[in-house]
Amino acid sequence: MSNQTSVTEFLLLGVTDIQELNPILFVIFFTIYFVNITGNGAILMIVILDPRLHSPMYFFLGNLACLDICFSTVTVPKMLENLLSTSKAISFLGCITQLHFFHFLGSTEALLLPVMAFDRFVAICRPLHYSVIMNRQLCSHMTVTIWIMGFLHALLHSVMTSRLSFCGPNHVHHFFCDIKPLLDLACGNTELNLWLLNTVTGTIALTPFFLTFLSYFYIITYLFLKTHSCSMLHKALSTCASHFMVVILLYVPVLFNYIRPASSSALDQERIIAIMYSVVTPALNPLIYTLRNKEVRNALNKKVRRWL
């Protein structure tokens, strides 16, 4: 990479400029992170250990739980360290690595959600053909594909950002290394980087959101037209509502942060939005979606009783 970087490290300015709030924020974010690791870790463990959960739906849920753990781990530990430390430095290589894995895991999760919606579409609208359509080979291929696409999407941004020249200020107005704050510090022309961010990341966010919405539109239409059982209708709609809530919590803040034009006056707002989708949402996912699932809850209770 033929960059002209003279900056060897960056300083992450963190969540807030009010230093007195740092201990309180540390407790809050540590608690949320603990809930994330515990909740998603329990889901991942149950999906792996319980043979009754070895189905496409729970295979994708296991992937979602794994992604949520890793996604938060990219940013939260460093943020917690900086809340209690006077030194907020991160090396240039460490910064680019954090940027890469943040976008790798985030875009992979964004691509996973429409796959999960498609799984529910086949299960509800094509129940007799479900085992044939959602076979193990297809599930494996779809999962590998979205992980590879997420990696390549992140690689594009990390390589293009690392090739920029950073020769001036090194204070990143964020709690982790993200593309927009780093572009504000670059000395050269960043128009191509901004175009890639708006176009590629916009496509990664908008296309899965549209496909997810389309899947659930067909599901709801099918249920209202074909289903005469109130209990089945309620159960299916409950599953759809929970999953769609996860979709909204992830996609809306991401679209708001990355698609809109950059503005120096919106730095605090962008940090708050980033906290929502990188810290809070991964912790909420098991609570509002997976742990509401009766089969997962029963399997978890049995494992806990057996260990006790």
110-121 tens-digit pLDDT: 899 899 989 988
* Cα gap 233→306, rounded to integer Å: 34
Backbone angles phi, psi at 5, to 5 degrees: -65, 130
Distance between CA 233 and CA 40 in Å, rounded? 28
Cα distance between residue 100 and residue 307, in whole Å: 39
pLDDT at 189 over 90: no
Band of residue 285 on the pLDDT scale cut at 50, 70, 90: confident
Could you give the domains of the chain? 9-307 (1.20.1070.10)
Tell me which of 78 and 167 has the higher pLDDT. 78
Average pLDDT over residues 182-202: 87
Of 301, 289, 240, the closest CA to residue 68 belongs to 289
pLDDT value for 28 = 94
Residues of 138-170 as b/e, b for ≥16 C-beta within 10 angstroms? ebeebbeebbebbbebbebbbebbbbbebeeeb
Banded pLDDT at 232 (limits 50, 70, 90): low
Q: How far apart are CA 74 and CA 104, in angstroms?
A: 10
Model confidence at 281: pLDDT above 50: yes
The pLDDT, as a whole number, for residue 1 is: 44
At 81-116, the pLDDT tens digits run 999 888 889 999 999 999 999 999 999 998 998 999
Pairing of β 89-91 and β 171-172: unpaired
Judge whether residue 262 has pLDDT over 60: no
Q: Among 70-79, 202-211, 217-226, which is the least confidently predicted range?
A: 217-226
> Tell me, what's the pLDDT at 203?
84
pLDDT value for 204: 83
Q: Quick check: 208 pLDDT over 90?
A: no
Residue corresponding to tokens 């250990």: 49
Which has more pLDDT, 184 or 225? Answer: 184
Mean pLDDT lowest for which of 21-35, 98-112, 219-233, 267-281?
Answer: 219-233
Q: What is the pLDDT of residues 23-50, one digit of tens each?
A: 999 999 999 999 999 989 988 888 888 8
For the chain, percent of residues with pLDDT exceeding 90: 35
Contacts of 185 (CB under 8 A, 6+ apart): 7, 10, 166, 168, 169, 170, 171, 172
Ranges of beta strands (E only) in 102-204 are 171-172
pLDDT of residue 64: 92
Output the average pLDDT for the chain. Answer: 84
Place of tokens 């044939």: 132
pLDDT of 3 reads 47
Count of C-beta atoms within a 10 Å radius of residue 60: 23
Name the percent of the chain lying above pLDDT 70.
86
Burial of 14 (0-12, 13-18, 19+ CB in 10 A): buried
